[in-house]
Structure 1
């Protein structure tokens, strides 16, 4: 799960970087699996009326919402503590977190407009059109005004209940679990905090705030490419600094780089590559003539990180059974020899449950030995 989490976050933040308004070459989008052509009129054979973007918006908003509602209904009907409930809860949380960024991007695209000096209104002033669909006026009239107002209502709901509501709900729930000492591996919400230390188990909220700020800056608050690139670089640099200084990921020893935290390295490397991408975008915004070269470099580092991370993580996780057993015997804490504070050592949830079972079996064996000695 940590691999999916790191890669999905990396791909989404890299895609947000491509929202900076420079002339990105096509190769820059080569490593963007989440970049879907949902509003491309040419791909879908639109008649040029601008209605396709409306359809795309409502599909992005309401189709996943319906799926999440059905999954929540099934979870509610499942027995508490069952494997089915646990698996469905983990899947629902992961899918909702995966949906968070694209749906906010779709909302942001509804307010990302440009001024067309060639198309004037009745008063002789230039009109504004959507960047996502240049046939759609940002201030329409007639039937399109009704649809535009409907977009406003849905966008407000998404911003309140998803953009702000998701982070607030996660913070409140995880904080409540921490207060009640219920940050356990068998919780339905374990996927939200299982990779973070008890000091700040709600760090997932920081990830969400970072993505929301990037989308806000790229789509609405900043319109000039240099301003967009600077804000993007600042947000990403701040996130890397927080991540590296706090070291809030649980300690899992890395076999490729001794005495290092594999989980922390994974997150930091992904964030640093994204930071490098935003720096390339900043250089491209200042020097438009170098955009093609910079876009190619952007694609190369993204693809290289994806391949090397996936292979390196896979090799690192192929540790022997003896190594895993020795880690389990060492207990729940491990010291980082570089002088850092002690951090809990954790494997995945299966290993955590296995450790509990091993302890129970060991206790039962000791009790049986005691009974045998009494009868002997």
Structure 2
């Protein structure tokens, strides 16, 4: 039987994640890897989760922890998120929050909710590879989101119409973005909101790295800015996607969407159809751990990851040849490196693995049009100082060998 003859057309848009493939390299002990943008497991609050799980599975509580639950999510956890969102300038209620299986599921649901084949999604150039993977299933076109405000709404609308659809949303990772580590300033955030109002589209605000700021002044989320202008979350078009994956534990797969109740109610229907609800036990454990250690734990992460960022930036200064540039992120897990124009990050990776045993992610994977061949992403969250020092030295040698 030829299965491809009966697969839906959307499958042609779904590709294997280049990062997921690169993560397999972590099993090779001689590889120095800056590929996976993942938390350091040595920093997980294991004791807090052991205690939370034991409590959740006690005779008095296990029947609830192991049972089916409501699709919206565990009530006390949603209450904690309501308080957290309020601290960010987003007053809301339980009705404005849906628990998802990581923020990745939230992106999938939002793509499913809004995209018809041929519609256009506005994304950064480059953007989060997982967002492209989530949206691709719904067969959209992509256009470059310009937060500088130097492109008119009419131009975006016409470009989408020329491709047979309309613009449906702008997707933006606003703080320490994956892959670039860049942060949108206040004016850029306001520009995106103004553009969305003109186009009458949604804004998907991906805030997976919100809590990982190491220096610089915090900037309000776009949802907070919009509420300040419009008075209520129910009047807003921004949908905020949060996650515990970068702060507490990615393996439990707990994230959330916060937005107007009219949108959340539609996402709940999708949740019911897809997996009924996120794992109850995991939500209960996350709620307990978040209430007990979140502030202290994230403060420790900021100190640790911030020091690793500083170490990587210092070693880049020492070892990168002339013609190579990189940014200096204020938080998150990534440094974005630009090679000379004639170089290809994919070719460099192959050479680096063979001769230097250093891994990273070629930047091309993060561009909707597969441009950006002379870029790459370096993740510092999982690397110790000695690995950063040796890895940047070896990477510099690999780059010199190709120049």
Higher strand share: 2
| TM-score normalised by L of structure 1 | 0.23
Instruction: Identify which of structures 1 and 2 has the higher relative contact order when contacts are C-alpha pairs closer than 8 Å and 6+ apart.
Output: 2
Q: What's the TM-score once normalised by structure 2's chain length?
A: 0.22
